């Protein structure tokens, strides 16, 4: 993150003067759930590396706690809400939609909730996607299926004026946007256009990235489900590998710039022997390269399981140079590349192998949530509604140090999170797999690659290479 000055101040539409219809307590110890005040915070930096430095207690280190306020900004009898889901699929989208609608309807009494279909494209009249009138009865069962009830798409977030035109026509005064960092950058621009026009519309995001690469938050919703489904794929391919002569199981998982899913799946499975992620470079050839390490593993144990993130080893492949509708660079297929290179290597050595390759990415993305993720989505959706009703805007809801907080969109989307190759998570993954610390022949070259990868991950998304 460099020397960026953090500011966790949350924008609001104005003073809250309306008594909340949710009747909670203001008295500690009366056995009744309590409101949350605006002066309740969570400290961002809790790891102490230098005890001589004081703990900073200002907006650069304090994150405002989320939750229901005693006084709210919007009159629920006149409030109209909108919801949209953008980007790729992720477990838990329907759970979040359901939580938002139910909290608006049952806790605050908001009657009008419009679901805008197919992401930002649902705001453009010429595309003909009429919004869905949502209520708690319509969406009561949607958490039992994967995908998104509202549909999704990529792109369109740059057409800010048209989106705000739609909000103004429909009388929307709180908009909930569920999507990743690109989507949330678009939501910030929408909030700025709302402010420019003098409209009173809260824009609150629920951050979605199955890769778990958003800054500050403990985890993204759907991530735990993704790891569970990935673990199941690893278990299946391990059974195949262990049942064959020189069996090799290869699983490609999501993770464009961050290898969290692959790393945690390797830890959870206890059956992964090699975990390849974008943050840690590796070479194919040479005595210390991946292929030679794989050969030694087969000679010793007779089978091997490899888990690879989709963004790993991109320096070994030819880039397509293309981008998708969200502006993300299209990655070369590391899974197919590894399969081909492994087969060629052992064929040249006249060593029999039996390789099984699995790419469960879309199956994982479309999954129904685990219990823990479903609970998390419910609480994220509820806290998003509490924030909007209190007039909070230009913010997302996140879990930090196991507490729900409001986070400014600009802070969350300024950089991406990544696995730290020198940190405890990766160290534990190395212990679990037993793989070499680095599968590379030139250590200085490896250090330079790792430093470059970290620097690239920490760049502002707009500055990253296309």
Q: For residue 446, give both structure tokens.
A: 């490896």
For position 74, what pLDDT does the model report? 98
Average pLDDT score over residue span 269-297: 95
For position 446, what pLDDT does the model report? 73
CB 151 within 8 A of CB 117: yes
pTM for this structure? Answer: 0.90
Give tens-digit pLDDT for 155-202: 888 999 999 999 999 999 999 999 988 889 999 999 999 999 999 999
CB 373 within 8 A of CB 222: yes
Give tens-digit pLDDT for 115-168: 999 999 999 999 999 999 999 999 999 999 999 999 999 888 899 999 999 999
Burial class (CB in 10 A: 0-12, 13-18, 19+), 196: exposed
For position 466, what pLDDT does the model report? 34
Q: For residue 41, give both structure tokens.
A: 């915070």
In angstroms, what is the C-alpha Rg of the chain? 24
Give tens-digit pLDDT for 303-356: 999 999 999 999 898 766 666 555 566 788 999 999 999 999 999 999 999 999
181 belongs to the catalytic site: no
The C-alpha atoms of residue 241 and residue 265 are separated, in whole angstroms, by: 17
What value does the mean pLDDT of the chain take? 91
Q: Which of 211, 213, 359, 373 is catalytic?
A: 211
For position 123, what pLDDT does the model report? 96
For position 465, what pLDDT does the model report? 41
Q: How far is CA 296 from the centre of its chain?
A: 36
Give tens-digit pLDDT for 449-466: 667 766 665 565 455 443
CB 332 within 8 A of CB 319: yes
């Amino acid at each position: 993150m460099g020397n960026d000055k953090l500011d966790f101040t949350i924008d609001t539409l104005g003073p809250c003067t309306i008594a909340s219809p949710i009747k909670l307590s203001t008295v500690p110890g009366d056995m009744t759930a309590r409101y949350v005040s605006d002066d309740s915070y969570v400290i961002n930096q809790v790891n102490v590396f230098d005890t001589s430095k004081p703990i900073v207690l200002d907006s650069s280190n304090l994150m405002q706690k989320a939750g229901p306020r005693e006084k709210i900004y919007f009159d629920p009898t006149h409030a109209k809400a909108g919801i949209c889901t953008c980007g790729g699929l992720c477990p838990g989208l329907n759970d979040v939609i359901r939580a938002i609608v139910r909290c608006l309807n049952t806790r605050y009494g908001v009657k009008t909730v419009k679901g805008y279909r197919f992401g930002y494209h649902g705001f453009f009249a010429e595309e003909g996607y009429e919004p869905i009138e949502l209520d708690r009865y319509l969406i009561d069962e949607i958490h039992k299926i994967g995908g998104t009830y509202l549909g999704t798409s990529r792109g369109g977030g740059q057409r800010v004026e048209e989106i705000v035109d739609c909000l103004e026509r429909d009388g929307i005064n709180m908009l909930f946007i569920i999507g990743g960092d690109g989507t949330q950058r678009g939501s910030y621009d929408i909030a700025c256009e709302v402010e420019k026009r003098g409209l009173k519309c809260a824009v609150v995001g629920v951050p979605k990235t199955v890769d778990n690469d958003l800054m500050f938050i403990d985890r993204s919703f759907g991530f735990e489900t993704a790891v569970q489904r990935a673990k199941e794929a690893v278990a299946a391919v391990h059974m195949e590998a262990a049942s064959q002569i020189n069996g090799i199981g290869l699983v490609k998982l999501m993770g464009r710039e961050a290898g969290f899913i692959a790393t945690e799946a390797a830890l959870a499975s206890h059956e992964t022997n090699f975990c390849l992620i974008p943050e840690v470079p590796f070479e194919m050839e040479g005595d210390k390269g991946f292929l030679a390490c794989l050969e030694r593993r087969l000679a010793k144990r007779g089978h091997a399981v490899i888990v690879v993130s989709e963004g790993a080893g991109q320096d070994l492949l030819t880039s397509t140079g293309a981008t998708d509708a969200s502006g993300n660079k299209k990655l070369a297929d590391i899974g197919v590349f590894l399969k081909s290179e492994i087969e060629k290597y052992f064929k040249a050595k006249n060593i029999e192998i039996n390789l099984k390759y699995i790419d469960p990415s879309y199956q994982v993305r479309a999954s129904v949530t685990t219990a823990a993720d479903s609970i998390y989505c419910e609480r994220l959706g509820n806290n998003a509604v509490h924030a909007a009703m209190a007039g909070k805007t230009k913010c997302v809801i996140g879990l930090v140090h196991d507490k729900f907080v409001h986070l400014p969109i600009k802070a969350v989307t300024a950089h991406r999170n990544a696995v730290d190759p020198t940190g405890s998570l990766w160290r534990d993954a190395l212990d679990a797999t037993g793989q070499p610390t680095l599968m590379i022949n030139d250590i200085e070259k490896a250090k330079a690659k790792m430093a470059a990868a970290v620097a690239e991950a920490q760049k502002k998304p707009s500055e990253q290479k296309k």
